Amino acid sequence: MKIIKNPSQETWEEVLKRPTQTIDDIEATVNEIFAEVKSKGDQAIAKYTSLFDGISLANMEVSTEEMQQAQKEISTELKEAIQLAKDNITKFHAAQKTDRVEVETQNGVKCWQEKRPIQKVGLYIPGGSAPLFSTILMLAVPAQLAGCQEIVLCTPPDKNGKINPAILYTAHLCGVTKIFKVGGIQAIAGLTFGTKTIPQVYKIFGPGNQFVTVAKQLATRFNVAIDMPAGPSELLVFADSTANASFVASDLLSQAEHGADSQVILVTTSEEILKEVEKEVQQQIQDLPRLKIAEQAIENSKLILVESEETALNLINEYAPEHFIVVVQNEDFFVSGIQNAGSVFIGNYTPESAGDYASGTNHTLPTNAYAKQYSGVNLDSFQKSMTFQKINETGIQTIGKAIELMAEAEGLQAHKNAVSLRLKSVAS
């Protein structure tokens, strides 16, 4: 990890730079695959599955038999762990439900807002080196709670054309309606346009690599919404002398093992903690099965020493981390002062892994500084707010004159007439 001491604010942009490719590097490939899937459908999906995943499939949809087999392959202990996580995620997201909001803005003018589910949603679940079945919990549970009618899941197959049984088990548990063995750009294109096999959806959710991120952004050009631009995982920890260096290092490595393009950062006011964490990272990384991936991510990562907590908070808000862990004596200063972060973890005994799996909060979060303007996935992500209004005779008399004056001032005579005719009718 690169050590940076007291960087001036003028250098923060360079210091906090993420190890991501520009969209220009990827967009040509994404455009080509999208165009082919749009014109050739399943044929193009099969072509790119063979090219990228090394497997030709007779049927890309997961069968009932495969689902049943997956149930048998999961241990009782893992099933219980998944159920515990599901219960907590359900509890937290169910608490986000809101009642109808109703207001009489003027006598006779009643306005209200109600939530409606997005009818068709697509979930993208990475399944390459790490089969992220936990992401199904994070997406399918709130989709079910919201009342989505179709929950379509795409995930890449392995070299034998199979899906990890934990993915299939969790998808079945959470009410996913269809599962397809399709990954990468072609999966996002299939959900965007629909094919003979894959249904078209209205909104696409889920993390992925930079190709998937750009594909999701391209999907928005074709009237499909996305949860957020979510790319390679990232974590920033602020720790002072009260932090446990071993814990901090383990948290940094927990995100570093996600992928070679992940980034982790420690910000601290304590040079001693900086040195201890650096030493712990070097020791702990040697025991990781995903050593090579973690080592590449660590090369992109930084240990930053700053002079004050105020400087640290400003720097963290500028970086806008996906995950922010704060282990510090002056806890309230950071908790109240953080403006830009996807999810915040507080104290020595709150690892980021808890949010990834079982505490109840959602782990699908904005990366690449999008935490400045995006929220993480929540119940509202799967719903739309619709407004309603009903005006009676008294109401149109109360606000009618104001509408006429405003419409006339904007030069929109038909708008004015729509009110004037009603006012005459009430007066007669």
Which residues are tagged catalytic?
A: 322-323
- For residue 303, the cross-strand partners are 3, 266
Q: Is the dihedral of CA 53, 55, 61, 65 positive or negative?
A: negative
How many C-beta neighbours within 10 Å does residue 28 have?
Answer: 9
Q: Count CA atoms within 13 Å of residue 129 on its CB side.
A: 12
Cα 66 from Cα 217, distance rounded (Å): 32
Are 376 and 364 contacting, i.e. CB atoms less than 8 angstroms apart?
yes
Residue type, 196: K
Q: What is the DSSP letter of 348?
A: T
Q: Count CA atoms within 13 Å of residue 198 on its CB side.
A: 36
Angle at 338 between CA 245 and CA 89, to 5 degrees: 80
H helices, E strands: number in the chain: 17, 14
Buried-exposed string 323-352: b where 16+ CB fall within 10 A, e elsewhere? bbbbbbeeeeebeebbebbbbbbeeeebbb
Cα 323 from Cα 363, distance rounded (Å): 9
How buried is 16 (Cβ within 10 angstroms: 0-12 exposed, 13-18 middle, 19+ buried)?
A: buried
Q: Count CA atoms within 13 Å of residue 7 on its CB side.
A: 21
Q: Which of 281, 278, 275, 273 is nearest to 238 (CA)?
A: 273
Are 83 and 89 contacting, i.e. CB atoms less than 8 angstroms apart?
no
